[in-house]
């Protein structure tokens, strides 16, 4: 019985499966996202996250481990096979150095992994990839499709910062408006508050005059 064995076979032998996952991770490193079935995306995510862990260490030994797992060709085996026709010789010939630099930037997966992708996740402890399910099923075998892509931390930081920045300016504007109105409204509010107190003060005087007038009539 297969106790404690969680490897997804994906209907392939071990050698075929390792080669397929290596090609998928290489495509993920080059194109930043790939579309595949959900089962293959989950299996490739494990390999991709381990490669980023090697890339964060950054030593020569870990570069060789990543190149062996991804089955990436070394630079010394590059022979300029992408040379455009008609430009291999003459005045318009493309230099071999330019071809090697272009290949290194676009297709050297180990260089892209260690020098471009791994530095972006230096402060992240894990979870470097994201799987997004695609609605519907693939025609033919009705397989669930998904997108495997790298986590974009810049977008996540903007989403996390947007709620806090949206709520902070409102109290700041209220505080800025309040002191501008207080000097002018202080006197008006004071007069409004004092006016009701003056009305009852006038009534006793009127009562006093009325009582004096009544007493004078009685004396007469």
Which pLDDT tens digit goes with each residue over 42-74? Answer: 999 999 999 999 999 999 999 999 999 999 876
Q: Are residues 24 and 119 in the same domain?
A: yes
d(CA 181, CA 30): 60
Q: For position 102, what pLDDT does the model report?
A: 84
Phi, psi of 141 (to 5 degrees): -120, 0
Q: Are residues 175 and 148 in the same domain?
A: no
Helix (H, G, I), strand (E, B) or coil at 140: coil
Q: Is the dihedral of CA 112, 13, 144, 126 positive or negative?
A: negative
Q: What is the pLDDT of residues 183-193, one digit of tens each?
A: 555 555 555 45
Residue 88 is assigned to a structural domain of this protein: no
Residue 52 is assigned to a structural domain of this protein: yes
Q: Are residues 134 and 26 in the same domain?
A: yes
CATH number of the domain within which 19 lies: 3.90.1030.10
Residue 161 is assigned to a structural domain of this protein: no
Residue 211 is assigned to a structural domain of this protein: yes
Full residue range of the structural domain in which residue 120 is found: 14-72+108-152
Residue 9 is assigned to a structural domain of this protein: no
Residue 199 is assigned to a structural domain of this protein: yes
Residue 6's pLDDT band (cuts 50, 70, 90): confident
Number of domains comprising the chain: 2
Q: For position 206, what pLDDT does the model report?
A: 53
Q: Are residues 207 and 173 in the same domain?
A: yes
182 vs 30, more confident = 30
d(CA 219, CA 20): 125
Q: Are residues 174 and 220 in the same domain?
A: yes
Residue 163 is assigned to a structural domain of this protein: no
Residue 86's pLDDT band (cuts 50, 70, 90): very low
Q: Are residues 25 and 126 in the same domain?
A: yes
Indicate yes or no: pTM above 0.85. no
């Amino acid at each position: 019985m297969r106790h404690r064995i969680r490897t997804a076979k994906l209907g392939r032998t071990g050698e075929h499966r390792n080669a397929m996952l290596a090609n998928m991770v290489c495509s993920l490193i080059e194109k930043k996202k790939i579309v595949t079935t959900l089962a293959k995306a989950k299996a490739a995510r494990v390999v991709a996250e381990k490669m980023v862990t090697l890339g964060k260490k950054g030593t020569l030994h870990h570069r060789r481990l990543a190149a062996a797992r991804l089955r990436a060709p070394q630079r010394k085996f590059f022979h300029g096979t992408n040379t455009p026709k008609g430009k291999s010789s003459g005045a318009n010939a493309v230099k071999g150095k330019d071809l090697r630099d272009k290949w290194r930037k676009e297709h050297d997966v180990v260089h892209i992994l260690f020098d471009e992708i791994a530095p972006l996740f230096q402060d992240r402890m894990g979870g470097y990839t994201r799987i997004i399910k695609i609605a519907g099923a693939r025609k033919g075998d009705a397989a669930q499709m998904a997108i495997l892509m790298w986590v974009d931390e810049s977008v996540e930081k903007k989403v996390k910062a947007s709620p806090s920045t949206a709520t902070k300016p409102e109290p700041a504007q209220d505080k800025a408006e309040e002191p501008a109105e207080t000097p002018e409204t202080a006197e008006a509010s004071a007069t409004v508050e004092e006016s009701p107190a003056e009305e009852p003060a006038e009534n006793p005087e009127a009562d006093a005059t009325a009582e004096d007038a009544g007493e004078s009539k009685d004396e007469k």
